Copies of this chain bind each other. A is one copy, B any other.
């Protein structure tokens, strides 16, 4: 019996060892398969998460861009909103100024014209429209429509006379001043 038992024990050991190995192998295989399947599902989920995170970040950035551009555009529209109407009423202002030069106006008429003129100038000023300065000649602000000969007292490229006032809306030129320059 002792011999048989020894033999059985040995066989037992072998069987158990084999079973153990088989178990380990099976577990390992299962683990790998599981991991592979889960990995791919997890990968997909992660990819989807990443994709939407990127889409979200892009949409968010674009949203801020749109908002920024809309603000800039609104500010610009506000700043230059009176450009067209202001430009269109400048000839009226010219005519009023010319009318004031006419000889033989009664005081009442003269006063009336001056009132209208001042009122228009003030309305334009309130919107940011101002006369272009004509102290020194600047081709960006003045149009030389006529020249006169320069001399010792009047160097070239200085303004001899302003024929028609120029106007700008803030820093934007509405129309240049028409000037006579020394040449």
Contact = CB atoms under 8 A, between A and B. Distances in A.
Interface string A27-57: 1001100110010011001101101110110
Given A16-B15, A55-B52, A105-B109, A85 B124 contact: yes
Q: How many copies does the complex hold?
A: 2
Nearest to A65: B63
A157 interface: no
Nearest to A88: B123
Nearest to A22: B23
Contacts of A85: 82, 85-86, 123-124, 126-127
Q: Describe A's contact surface by its main secondary structure.
A: helix
Nearest to A91: B119
Contact of A34 (B35, B86, B92, B123): B35
A66 B70 contact: yes
